[in-house]
Amino acid sequence: QVQLVESGGGLVQPGGSLRLSCSASGSIFNINAMGWYRQAPGKQRDLVATITSFGSTNYADSVKGRFTISRDNAKNTVYLQMNSLKPEDTAVYYCNADIRVNLGRSWSNYWGQGTQVTVSS
C-alpha cells in the first residue's frame, strides 16, 4: 500500500548538480526518519544522508559539504541536492523511510525502486 517513488536522476558532468526527489504515497499515518542510500554495481548499499522528522541530518563523510538533504512533511517528500558531483558518486540512489500506516501499527521500513545517477564526461 505504501510506495516511495524517486525522481531526478540522470547523466551529469563532473562538477555538475542534480536534485533528487522522493515522495511517499498510500496509506500513511506518520513518517519518521527519511534518507537516501546509494549502491554501485557489485557494491553494498551505503548510507548517503538521513533526516529526522525534526530536521536533524546526518551525512556520509564522502558527501559532506556537497550534498544537502531536506524534507517537506506536508508533501511526504524528501530531497537530495547534489552539488560538485564526482564520478565516484555514480550509483543507483534509493529513498528510504520509516512509516506507520495507522495508530495501531508499529513502524515499518520502506524502500523506493531507485533512480540512476551517472557522473561522467
Name the pairing type of β-strands 46-51 and 30-39. antiparallel
pLDDT at 23: 97
Per-residue pLDDT, 104 = 86
Q: Which of 36, 14, 21, 37 is nearest to 85 (CA)?
A: 14
Q: How far apart are the first and last CA of the chain?
A: 40
pLDDT of residue 42: 93
What local confidence, expressed as pLDDT, does residue 103 receive?
A: 86
Which portions of the chain are predicted below pLDDT 70? Answer: none
